[in-house]
Amino acid sequence: MEHFELTDKGKLREQNQDSYAVSDSGKYPVFVLCDGMGGHKAGEVASAVAAADIVNTLEELIGEDDGSLFIKISSAMNHANNKVYDMSLKEPRFSGMGTTCDVCVISPDGVHIGHVGDSRVYVFTERGLYQITKDHSLAEEMIDSGELTREESYTYEKRNYITRALGTEGAVQADTYLMAFRPGDIMLMCSDGLTNMVAEIDIAYILSEQTTGLEEKARKLVDMANDNGGQDNITVILIKR
């Protein structure tokens, strides 16, 4: 297995509120991507604290026994949620901060995923690019209810309004997924700074290129997001079986 991570603040933001953390020295590799929210660097703090705390907690939990990885992922995300939430209550400058969060643990069974917010996890296979996670966003809820089409959601003024985040309340409910991960497949974890700027057909094309490695693919994705406006921070994690 190989992987490459890249983050960029984009063209318009003064700070990079995205964070990621990786641990590939334990029993199972762990990847975490967070996109923070909150002014005065609060979003930057929320994402960094959450990503580091989840990796540290999962390293301990995975090493203890062979129990459910879903339970371990949910426990780690709630541990980080409590840490961020407590900081937001104790420090006025951090009030209201929170973060999206995607967690991937690679095991022999496949990829165990924990998800909160509108950062995304995709898998690219020989059959194409597939979105695994479902956004916790107002736009997604309106699509489900028929008030908005998928095409209309791309320009909807509140498309970045998320309905679930880590650290904004005393507890968080993460969605969980188990995905097959076969030799040659590529996992993509990304913040919405990529998906709001680059169409999925273009993401798939870059991932399909046979002559480029993961680093070049990641740089091409970030460059395309910036070339298309770079309106937000951009973070990409690529993992290949």
Whether the CB-CB separation of 41 and 91 falls below 8 Å is answered with no
Q: CATH classification of 2-240 is 3.60.40.10, yes or no?
A: yes
206-229 tens-digit pLDDT: 999 999 999 999 999 999 999 999
Is pTM, for the whole model, over 0.85?
Answer: yes
Q: Where are the beta strands (DSSP E) in the chain?
A: 2-8, 18-23, 30-37, 98-99, 101-107, 110-116, 120-125, 128-131, 175-179, 186-190, 234-240
Going from the C-alpha of 196 to that of each of 50, 94, 160, 230, the distances in angstroms are: 23, 26, 9, 9
Q: What is the mean pLDDT of the chain?
A: 93
Whether the CB-CB separation of 238 and 196 falls below 8 Å is answered with no
Residues sharing a CB contact under 8 Å with residue 155, sequence separation 6 or more, in sequence order: none
157-212 tens-digit pLDDT: 677 788 999 999 999 999 999 999 999 999 999 999 999 999 999 999 999 999 99
Hey, where are the domains in the chain?
2-240
Residues sharing a CB contact under 8 Å with residue 238, sequence separation 6 or more, in sequence order: 3, 4, 5, 186, 187, 188, 207, 214, 217, 218
